[in-house]
Amino acid sequence: MADQPHRTPRTLHPETLAIRTQTPRSAEREHSTPLYLTSSFVFDDAEQARALFTEEEQGNIYSRYSNPNTDEFVRKMALLEGADDGIAFASGMAAVFGSMAAFLRSGDHVLASRALFGSTHQLFTKLFPRWGITATYVDADASADAWEAAVQPSTKLVFVETPSNPGLALIDLDMLGQLCAAHELMLVVDNCFTTPMLQQPMKHGAHLVVHSATKFIDGQGRVLGGVVVGNADLITELRFFIRHTGPALSPFNAWVLSKSLETLSVRMERHCANALAIATHFEDHAELDFVRYPFLASHADHALAVRQMSAGGGIVVLELKGGLDRARRFIDALELLSHTPNLGDVRSIVTHPTSTTHSKLSEAERVQVGIVPGMIRVSVGLEHRDDLIADIEQALERSK
């Protein structure tokens, strides 16, 4: 890391680590890390080739295994999360799948929070059962005793999102960390909604932390990517799994994501400030049944949010009066906010979970996690908050 200041990386602030962690400069003396768009790397001699393949020597062989751009991105993410090491993936869902599939075997059991992203839910209900892996859901607000009661002799792993997508339910990570330590279970936390700038699950006992880097980490809706960081021994096992299954992140996407991390801190400050302003403005609006945001005092998990997160994040949930038809009219009436399934963009985005991201869940399953027909997920961007508030206001008026 030739560009890093001459201090131990762990003593630097996260903002500095995200900017100054770089691959060593080449003979060209570049200030910004170049793109390494190569599928393979040349060996100095036959002995080095042998040593690299047996892992007696560390170095690049093939970009499916490692690449300087991918390595830089992963190194930054591990430093920001307080992890030993990590692996980059081609997408967030590849990272979610890999974080569990690498460690689970037929007959294993998983405990998971009930409120999960729709595709993660499909893993537990449709795909893992094909391989003899079972799962039990526990409500996000369940007590420690309820989580304890759900542990089975075959339980291997606990997987949670906090805050959840899209309902913004929070889970006490300290409680789960203690539970997993007592039962020798692996704790995997999807930290996508907060990024390491707002929450570091490993401080609470997590073993692996998962991100869809497509979201806030990229921040501009340009590339797909995922990453898992965690304890060194687990990452070693995960590396074997992905090396032979191939969900590698492209060097170009890794380069984009690494550069994006340089502005993550300032972007998250603005995302959070705008989101809190919007949530506060609309909290008692006559056309809404509720507004949900972790740093509103009215949020059921507000005390936990303040203890576990440094800010409330960039997602606000609105429930419109009038249900499904009203939600559709509202979305169609928006003039500034985008309608797309992504989130974490500099541009503010609305999504209707019932008909899009969580449409594969049954109605009963959606009700169980608080997804109702009138719910709108707002990913609050970096525009001026007054313009965002004005657009939501006019859409509420026009959709009556």
Q: In the sheet where 208-212 sits, what is the strand order? A: 85-89, 226-230, 208-212, 186-190, 155-161, 109-113, 134-138
DSSP string, 65-127: T--HHHHHHHHHHHHHHT-SEEEEESSHHHHHHHHHHTT--TT-EEEEES---HHHHHIIIII
**Alpha carbon distance 245, 260 (integer Å):** 27
Residue 302 has pLDDT above 80, yes or no: yes
DSSP string, 31-44: SSPPP---SB---S
What is residue 118's predicted lDDT score, i.e. its pLDDT? 87
Query: What mean pLDDT is predicted for residues 292-319?
Result: 97
Q: Which CATH class is domain 10-261?
A: alpha beta
- Amino acid (one-letter) located at 329: R
Q: What is the pLDDT of residues 76-91, one digit of tens each?
A: 999 999 999 999 999 9
Task: Please give the distance of CA 157 from its chain centroid, rounded to a whole number.
Answer: 18
Residue 7 has pLDDT above 50, yes or no: no
DSSP letter (8 states) at residue 201: G
Q: What is the pLDDT of residues 202-221, one digit of tens each?
A: 999 999 999 999 999 999 99
What is residue 296's predicted lDDT score, i.e. its pLDDT? 98
**Given pLDDT bands bounded at 50, 70 and 90, which one contains residue 177?**
very high
What is residue 316's predicted lDDT score, i.e. its pLDDT? 98
Query: What mean pLDDT is predicted for residues 235-244?
Result: 96
Residue 11 has pLDDT above 90, yes or no: no
**Alpha carbon distance 24, 386 (integer Å):** 44
Q: 231 and 207 in contact (C-beta within 8 Å)?
A: yes
What is residue 10's predicted lDDT score, i.e. its pLDDT? 55
Please state, rounded to an integer, the average pLDDT across all residues of the chain.
95
Residue ranges per domain, the chain? 10-261, 264-398
What is residue 383's predicted lDDT score, i.e. its pLDDT? 98
What is residue 4's predicted lDDT score, i.e. its pLDDT? 47
What is residue 359's predicted lDDT score, i.e. its pLDDT? 78
What is residue 276's predicted lDDT score, i.e. its pLDDT? 98
**Given pLDDT bands bounded at 50, 70 and 90, which one contains residue 223?**
very high
User: Which one, of 361, 385, 375, lies nearest residue 117 by Cα?
Assistant: 361
What is residue 1's predicted lDDT score, i.e. its pLDDT? 39
Q: What is the pLDDT of residues 344-388, one digit of tens each?
A: 999 999 999 988 877 777 777 787 777 889 999 999 999 999 999
Q: What is the pLDDT of residues 253-277, one digit of tens each?
A: 999 999 999 999 999 999 999 999 9
Q: Contacts from 390-396 at CB under 8 Å and sequence distance 24+?
A: 391/334, 391/335, 391/336, 391/337, 392/278, 392/282, 392/318, 392/334, 392/337, 394/333, 394/335, 395/330, 395/331, 395/333, 395/334, 395/335, 396/285, 396/287, 396/288, 396/320, 396/330
Residue 304 has pLDDT above 80, yes or no: yes
What is residue 390's predicted lDDT score, i.e. its pLDDT? 98
Q: 18-32, 100-114, 190-204: which range is least confident on average?
A: 18-32
**Superfamily for the 264-398 domain:** Aspartate Aminotransferase, domain 1 (3.90.1150.10)
Q: What is the pLDDT of residues 146-171, one digit of tens each?
A: 999 999 999 999 999 999 999 999 99
- pTM (whole model) above 0.85: yes
Q: Which class for 56: exposed (0-12), middle (13-18), buried (19 or more C-beta within 10 A)?
A: exposed
**Alpha carbon distance 150, 337 (integer Å):** 42
What is residue 2's predicted lDDT score, i.e. its pLDDT? 40
Residue 92 has pLDDT above 90, yes or no: yes
Q: 305 and 194 in contact (C-beta within 8 Å)?
A: no
